Structure 1
Amino acid sequence: MRPAPPIPDDIQAALNVLPDAARPVLFRLREAIFEVASTIQNVGQVTETLKWGQPSYAVATGTPLRLGITKTGVPAIFVHCQTTIVADARLALEPDLSFEGNRAVLVPQDRAFPDAALRQVIHSALTYRSRR
């Protein structure tokens, strides 16, 4: 696995305005996205940009992932609401993960970081188009 590249200034600035408690989780999720992408054959390069003020991660074979916090301040991975990413994860990974509607995978800070489950969600999103 390759480590995540240095954080671009605009991404760092977007993360810096979020609550102190959420930032370490979001940095860890960012690292996981790049690490998972490096293990998938033919996924291509991860494009890191800001979408709606949130860090967004896209590859040609998948659907974009965004990192942020919910309205209640819980760190989350957001996906396009018309994909089946959250529904599939809910079936396979609940109760390891929590969800908000059909667009967010929540990462509560009051329990252990669910690394393996989150990596499954990330993998699913990064390969979403290639599986269709």
Structure 2
Amino acid sequence: MKMEVQSKFDQYPIHIKPLLENLRELILEVAESLSLGDVEETLKWGEPSYLVKGGSTIRIDWKEKSPEQYFIFFNCNTKLIDTFRELYSEELEFQGNRAIILNARNSIPLHILRHCIELAMKYKSVKHKPLLGA
């Protein structure tokens, strides 16, 4: 992990840091399982950011104004959140067309998040398909 990304993780509250580290691991695991090559890990807009060739950027973060929530952000100029909402509106909570909202007190729907991350990582090859080919 790059120094600036590690520094950002170290700034998160004690109850949030392991949750975001788990999301990071899930993102890296999905990229590896799909053989998508190297994951570019950096800070964008001060948030840990992940990108693979042919994919759309995924960011994760926590905001002080919502202390029990943490977020997975997607590019708002894509069809990703609209697709996730269509597929998983019963299971996930969303913020506009840019984020999945997760609650620190609830377990995460791992198989659903894995699928959302996979669609973001393959976005450029599936963006023309209905529901991104899901």
TM-score (norm 1): 0.88
- Structure 1 residue 55 displacement after superposition: 0.7
Tell me whether 1:59 sits opposite 2:47 in the alignment. Answer: no
SS at match of 1:107: strand
Structure 1 partner of 2:42: 49
Tell me whether 1:116 sits opposite 2:111 in the alignment. Answer: yes
Gaps of 5+ in 1: 1-6
Tell me whether 1:37 sits opposite 2:31 in the alignment. Answer: yes
**1:84 aligned partner, one-letter code:** K
Structure 2 partner of 1:19: 13
1:103 to 90, 98, 102: 98
Over 2 Å off, 4+ runs: none
- Structure 1 residue 112 displacement after superposition: 1.6
Q: CA offsets per residue over residues 57-76 of structure 1, 9 Å max, x none?
A: 00111100011024413111
1: distance between equivalents of 2:112 and 2:21? 17
**1:80 aligned partner, one-letter code:** N
Tell me whether 1:9 sits opposite 2:3 in the alignment. Answer: yes
Count how many residue pairs are aligned between Structure 1 and Structure 2: 125
1:93 to 88, 102, 106: 88
TM-score (norm 2): 0.86
- Structure 1 residue 107 displacement after superposition: 1.3
Gaps of 5+ in 2: 128-134
Q: CA offsets per residue over residues 86-108 of structure 1, 9 Å max, x none?
A: 11111111222111111011111
2: distance between equivalents of 1:68 and 1:130? 26
